[in-house]
Structure 1
Amino acid sequence: MLLIDKQLQELQEKAQEAWEILHLDSSQERVHELEVQMSGADFWNDQEQAKQVSQEASERKAQIEVWQTLLIEIQDALDLSKLAQDEQNAKVESEIEKTFNDLQSRYEKLELQILLSGEMDENNAILSIHAGAGGSDASDWAGMLTRMFTRFAESQDWETEIYESSPAEEAGYKSVSFSIKGRYAYGMLKSEAGVHRLVRISPFDAEKMRHTSFALVEVIPELTGFSQASIQIDEKDIRVDTFMAGGHGGQGVNTTYSAVRITHIPTNTVVTCQNERSQLQNKESAMRVLKSRLFVRMQEERAEKLDQLKGGHKSPAWGNQIRSYVLHPYKMVKDHRTDCEIQDAEKVLDGDLQPFIDAYLRKEVSESS
């Protein structure tokens, strides 16, 4: 029993350390602040803000509860272990060993939260996909990646919304940008920033030749609260253009000039939003994205490295890929940064990205320690 005691004590220490790393004491204070807001008579006057506050309170309480429960059950197992030693009860000892294995497994699943303790990791994400060289194959690949990320978001119960797209004539997208709303969306998806390479028999080639396609994925955090307010944009520094929104095959979304393109002149940063029916809503969405892009730019310049918060500005071409998806002559998906490999390529393309995300986050932590 001395061994299981030691293992339980080590697990308890790791769980207590995780509590501190995740600042759960501060999170409890934050929950109290949010509950005070929610009890206000005018709380639901701003329904969008009320929804965000309620969601944050719910997510924080759930996180606190799961770690509290784990710590309590570890302590209960330690107490039972000491009691079993006194009584020399083999049946109880066997039960304690099973309990430890369960607690260890639960800790390992929760450990991902420790890896997501960066400044912006809890934020929503803004993800953009740009088709590289390869014509219809490349644009189709951009469409496949859009589906992959959407399916992954669904598996996490996150919301996705396309705010700008440039559909290709034959299949997929020349470029597409969408928001992914959910806690830790940016922290988990930042691992996807970079060039993704596809090798397959082209469905667009009459001779059924093997083709290689590329797409560039960019991921930035959506700003909230203080970070958003800290980015001040002078009206004279932007140009706002309006135009009619369009869909696949030239299909019109509407017949008014509701789509908005904002250009930040000093940095030549361009953001387009055409998803909403209202020009005002599209402008507000575009400004939020513009502030996020400018914030990332500031962070990159301050850190003097281009991939501080999003993938480096690499051309979507051979030699720059972070991950390869091979569908012919064999099937495999390999991440070139972590060497994580999955043989079931279809499962990955259906949104099973967790093994790659876990491997990337663990590598990131090991390199920074």
Structure 2
Amino acid sequence: MRAEGQANIERIEASLALVRKFLDWDRALRRLDELNARVEDPTLWDDPRNAEAVMRERRRLEAAVGTVNEISQEMADAVEFVEMGEAEGDDTIVSEGLSSLEALAERADKDKVQALLAGEADGNDAYLEVHAGAGGTESQDWAEMLQRMYTRWAERHGYKVDLVDYHSGEQAGIKSCTLLIKGENAYGYAKTESGVHRLVRISPYDSSARRHTSFSSVWVYPVIDDDIDVEINPADLKIDTYRASGAGGQHVNTTDSAVRITHQPTGIVVASQNDRSQHKNRATAMNMLKARLYEKELAEREAAASGEYAAKTEIGWGHQIRSYVLQPYQQVKDLRTGVVSTNPTDVLDGALDPFMAAALSQRVTGETVEVEDDD
């Protein structure tokens, strides 16, 4: 086997191994057999809600297992084709086989990411919050840049984006915002973006044109449906109303329609001002709170399984997941996975998929990358 062929075989095998590890392969096969048996049970649809959950799990698991088996078989066929060409001294056959392996390696990389989106809530819509860190206008401008970046990323995927909550900065930018991203696997992809994001640039707000470092945090959690029951004690809630401060609309700043809910045991705060009705904003905020509490439970379960816990931390030095450098050079570097882009303009316009794919893979392998984050 030629070197380029062997390299692609190793890429394919690495992708398949990652998916098998993520699925817990033997358990996944047993579970798929169980689900197939339940689908054959004529009493399944006596409980429509449970039946839909069974069918949803079966589809996801069947797709992931089927992808691994299909790619494995196609790789074996391509390897056999190359070996046959080598044995016969036919360079045309060898070239075709090597091209097939290269195309299959590309497909395996893409299908791997899809297979990794088989978590409990990965298929759901997502709430994405952006909060400016300390630093006034600089950080608030950076927070607005992040809001635009995630909106553009969502649009690239054909997702719909609603602005649920918005607090503008004093001079420019935003203090915070909450986006509702609607689309298949929106949470599965976006969940890897939670953390602190750092910007290094020559400030447009500094008359001396000095270099500034700004921080903003991103927090992502899944939208949950009625099938997921989250109990909340009303006595644990502090509910405030205030006037909306959105980017526009006739109802903005005219009535106390916006609602903020604080869950006092955890300190979680959610807010909604997207609707004219205080009642509807309250319902939206309660759904957001349930989603945040559910995401917290998911994170704790994942942490217990991996033996580590990454809590939400102060927005500042030492806690960032990604660094965006615009001056004195152009680079975006993920400090968890080591993925680098030398085109910040493209990244800030929503080109986030390579960062998300690497972060999803890292969640399975548990491997950390030592990255020097020089300015």
Asked if residue 181 in structure 1 is aligned to residue 182 in structure 2, the reply is yes
Q: Secondary structure at the match of 2:187?
A: helix
- Aligned residue identity for 1:331: Q
In 1: Cα distance, 2:113 partner to 2:10 partner: 21
Give SS of 1:176's match.
Answer: strand
Task: Name the structure 1 match of 2:346.
Answer: 347
- Secondary structure at 2:366's aligned position in 1? helix
Aligned length: 361
The 10-residue stretch of structure 1 (79-88 or 126-135) with the greater mean CA deviation from structure 2: 79-88
Identity of aligned residues (%): 39
Match of 1:122 in 2: 123
Compute the displacement of 1:121 (Å).
3.0
User: Aligned partners of 1:354, 1:303: CA distance in 2, in Å?
Assistant: 22
1:174 CA displacement: 0.6
Q: CA deviation at 1:275?
A: 0.9
TM-score normalised to structure 1 length = 0.75
Q: Measured at CA, do residues 304 and 98 of structure 1 come closer, stay the same or move farther in structure 2, by a change above 3 Å?
A: closer
How much does 1:188 deviate? 2.3
Change (3 A) 1:308 1:215: farther
- For 2:129, what is the secondary structure of its paired residue? strand
Instruction: Output the CA distance in 2 between the equivalents of 1:82 and 1:289.
Output: 57
Instruction: Please report how far the alpha carbon of residue 138 of structure 1 lies from its aligned counterpart in structure 2 after TM superposition.
Output: 0.8
Cα shift readout 1:308-343 (whole Å, capped 9, x = no counterpart): 999632211223222221112222222222232222
- Mean alpha-carbon deviation: is it higher for 68-77 or for 216-225? 68-77
Note if 1:195 corresponds to 2:196.
yes
- 1:238 and 1:119 map into 2 onto residues whose CA distance is 27
| Cross-structure match for 2:53 | none
Matched ranges for 1:1-369 at <5 A: 18=19, 77=78, 90-226=91-227, 228-229=228-229, 231-248=230-247, 252-253=251-252, 255-299=254-298, 312-367=311-366
Instruction: Note the residue ranges of structure 2 that are not aligned, 5 or more in a row.
Output: 40-44, 49-55, 369-375
Question: TM-score, normalised to structure 2's length?
Answer: 0.74
The equivalent of 1:37 in structure 2 is none
What is the CA-CA distance between 1:273 and the residue it aligns to?
0.6
Query: Per the alignment, do residues 233 and 88 of structure 1 end up closer, same or farther by CA in structure 2, a change over 3 Å counting?
Result: same
**Structure-2 change in CA distance of 1:209 and 1:101 (3 Å):** closer
Asked whether the equivalents of residues 9 and 78 of structure 1 are also in contact (C-alpha less than 8 Å), the reply is: no
CA RMSD in angstroms, aligned pairs only: 4.7
CA drift of 1:168 comes to 0.8
Q: Which stretch of the first structure deviates more once superposed, 58-67 or 121-130? A: 58-67
Give how far 1:162 is off.
Answer: 1.6
State the distance in 2 between where 1:142 and 1:309 align.
29
CA shift at 1:156, angstroms?
Answer: 1.8
* C-alpha deviation, 1:140, in angstroms: 0.3
Conserved 8 A contact 2:83-2:94: no
Match of 1:163, SS?
Answer: strand
Question: SS state of the match for residue 123, structure 1?
Answer: coil
Distance 1:207 1:74 in 2: 59
Which structure 1 residue ranges, 5 or more long, are not aligned? Answer: 35-39, 44-54
Partner Cα distance (1:282, 1:337) in 2: 36
Q: Which moved more, 1:235-244 or 1:270-279?
A: 235-244
Are the counterparts in 2 of residues 157 and 182 from structure 1 also a CA contact under 8 Å?
yes
**Per the alignment, do residues 89 and 157 of structure 1 end up closer, same or farther by CA in structure 2, a change over 3 Å counting?**
same
C-alpha spacing 1:316/1:365, structure 2 compared with 1 (3 Å): same
Inter-partner Cα distance in structure 2 for 1:193 and 1:167: 21
**1:10: how far off?**
10
CA deviations 1:193-223 (Å, max 9, x no partner) are 2211111111112222222111122222222
Q: Aligned partners of 2:348, 2:75: CA distance in 1, in Å?
A: 38
For structure 1, which segment, 254-263 or 79-88, has the greater mean C-alpha deviation from structure 2 after superposition? 79-88
Q: Is residue 139–residue 174 contact of structure 1 (8 Å, CA) maintained in 2?
A: yes
Show CA shifts across 1:213-243 (max 9, x none): 11122222222354x32x1223344344444
